[in-house]
Structure 1
C-alpha cells in the first residue's frame, strides 16, 4: 500500500535537524520539563538490557523505537518478548491516530509484538475517550482518509478530504468543530482552506497526533501536529492535543498502573520534545533511542544542551 503522508510542504522537506528546530520554535506550547538544576546526567548504554531489573513498567513509543513505518525492528521485537518473559509490564504509547485502536493492535500483533488491547494506548483512543466523556455536541468535520474508520468517533461527523471545492469551503464553515486524525493526502491547498475557515469562524480544533514528523523508512513525513501549529499561527485557534508530550497521554499510563510509582516506570522514545519531555513531566524515568528515530544523525549532546531536555539514559536501540 502506498504511503500518502506528505513529505514536503511549501518547498520544505523535513529532516531531523529541521524537525528539532521546529520543536524548539513551539516550545512554549509544550509541557514544562524538569528545571535545569534537576535535569539528569544521561547514562550512555548499548541497549536497554542493563535496565530490565530497575523498572517495573516499560512504556514504549512506537515509530523510531519499535518500528519504522510498516517494518518492525527485529531487536525491538526480541526485547519486548524478553521483558514479558521476565514478568515486566510493557505498554505501547503511540501518537498514531490514522488507524482505529483495534486496527492498531492488529498491526503490532502482525509485526510480532505480543500485546493485548490494554497494552496499547493510542492518541486516537485518548481522543475518542475525551469526545465521549462528556459527549460533544454539534457536527464535526473529520480530516482523515476513509480507511481510518472515522465512524468510531463518538460524534456526528462528516469527512474533510481533498480536493478543495467551493462546496467543501462552505461545509467547512458550517462545522461546529474540526478533528484531525491523519495527515494522509493533506496538502497546501487543504491547509489554506482550513486556516481561512478557522480565521473566519474560530472553533475547536482537536488533534489526535501532536507529532510534527514521523520516521517512515528513509524519510520523515509531516504529521498532524505540524499542520495544527501552522493553523494556530494563522488563525489564533489553540488546538486540543491528546498524545505525547501532553498530559492526557501520560495520565492514562499512570492510571493504568496506579499501584506503581512513576519513578519505577521507564518511558522509551526517540524524541526529546515528546517522549522524554512528556515522561519527565509525568515523573517517569526516560531512555532516548537514537539510531533510527527523529534525531538520527544529529549531535545528541548538542540537542540536549540546546533544548534543556536530558533523558536519564541514552542508547542506539532497545
Structure 2
C-alpha cells in the first residue's frame, strides 16, 4: 500500500536521475495565488492534487483560473498523465468543469511521442486508449511473452491495466535483450479519491535500477515538458513563470531547475494531512511559496 512517506522515500532513492537544483532554504506562506499575481506572468498548474483529485475538481479551482486570466496572467496545465491523447485530455478537464483552452494544456505524453523513432513499438496503454496519435507499428503489451520479445522498443503510457505479472514479462524481455523504453509519465503515484494510484514512473524506475541507460523518462521533473511550456511562453523570462504543484520531487524540483518560481500546494495532494516542512527539510527542497489551495 502506497503512503505519503513511502512515495517520498522512493523519490529520494531515485533522485540521482533528476535534474540538479540549487536548494532554497525556506518557503513563504500565502493565502492564495492572488497574493503573488503581480510577481508572475504565467501560472503553470499540475493537475492531480492541485486542480483535481481523481475525477473530482478541487473546490474553487475553476474560479481561481478565471480570476488569474482576468488579471492578465497566462495559464498552462502541465500534467504527467499520459493515459489520454490530446483530445482525451481536453475532454477530461471539461468533465471536471474546468474552463481550459486547448493551447493551455501540455502533457508528458506529447513530449514522449516527439521522441518516438522508427521501428516496432511495444506499448503499455489503457485498453480504452485508441492510440490514434501513435504510429501504426505498435503492439499492445498484455500477457503474450512473444509480443515483448518481438518489440524493438517500449512505450509506457498507462498503468490502468498493468499487473505485476506483466511487469515481470517486461523485465524478463529487458534481461534477455535490453532495449530503449520511454516512460511517458514519470510520476511514482497520483492522489485519488480513495488513496494513491501507482503510475508508470513506479515501474520505470524499477527497470532503470537495472538498466539505467535504456530508460528515458518524460514529464516533470524531466526537461522535455518544460521545453514545450517555454516554447508556448516564448516572450517570458523564466523567473516570471510559476509552477504550482503538490509534489516536491516532480513539480517543485523540475521547475526550480529551470529557474521558474514555485508554489507548493499542500491540502489535497501528496502531502494532504501532513506538515510539509519536515519533508522539505529532509529533501532540501523548498518552494518559493506554499499555499493550502490555489
Match of 1:47?
32
Q: Assess if the C-alpha contact under 8 Å between 1:270 and 1:293 holds in 2.
A: yes
1:107 lines up with 2:92 in the alignment? yes
User: What SS class does the counterpart of residue 287 from structure 1 fall into?
Assistant: strand
Give distance in 2, aligned partners of 1:16 and 1:206: 26
Question: Aligned runs of 1:9-48 on 2, under 5 Å?
Answer: 13-34=1-22, 36=23, 39-48=24-33
CA RMSD of aligned residues (A): 1.3
User: What SS class does the counterpart of residue 74 from structure 1 fall into?
Assistant: coil
Provide Cα deviations, 1:142-175, integer angstroms capped at 9, x if missing partner: 00122122231135101112xx3xxx11221111
Match of 1:142?
123
Question: Aligned runs of 1:1-318 on 2, under 5 Å?
Answer: 13-34=1-22, 36=23, 39-131=24-116, 136-154=117-135, 156-161=137-142, 164=143, 168-236=144-212, 238-318=214-294
Give distance in 2, aligned partners of 1:301 and 1:236: 32
Q: Assess if the C-alpha contact under 8 Å between 1:141 and 1:159 holds in 2.
A: yes
Q: 175-184 or 45-54: which moved more?
A: 45-54
Q: Assess if the C-alpha contact under 8 Å between 2:25 and 2:284 holds in 1.
A: no
- Deviation at residue 77 of structure 1 after TM alignment: 1.1
Q: Assess if the C-alpha contact under 8 Å between 1:143 and 1:181 holds in 2.
A: yes
- Deviation at residue 122 of structure 1 after TM alignment: 0.4
Give unmatched runs, 5+ long, in structure 2.
Answer: none
User: What SS class does the counterpart of residue 294 from structure 1 fall into?
Assistant: coil
- Deviation at residue 233 of structure 1 after TM alignment: 2.1
**TM value normalised by structure 1:** 0.89
Give distance in 2, aligned partners of 1:256 and 1:155: 29
Corresponding pairs, count: 294
Q: Assess if the C-alpha contact under 8 Å between 1:59 and 1:91 holds in 2.
A: yes
Match of 1:4?
none
User: What SS class does the counterpart of residue 244 from structure 2 fall into?
Assistant: strand
Q: Assess if the C-alpha contact under 8 Å between 1:203 and 1:237 holds in 2.
A: no
- Deviation at residue 236 of structure 1 after TM alignment: 4.7
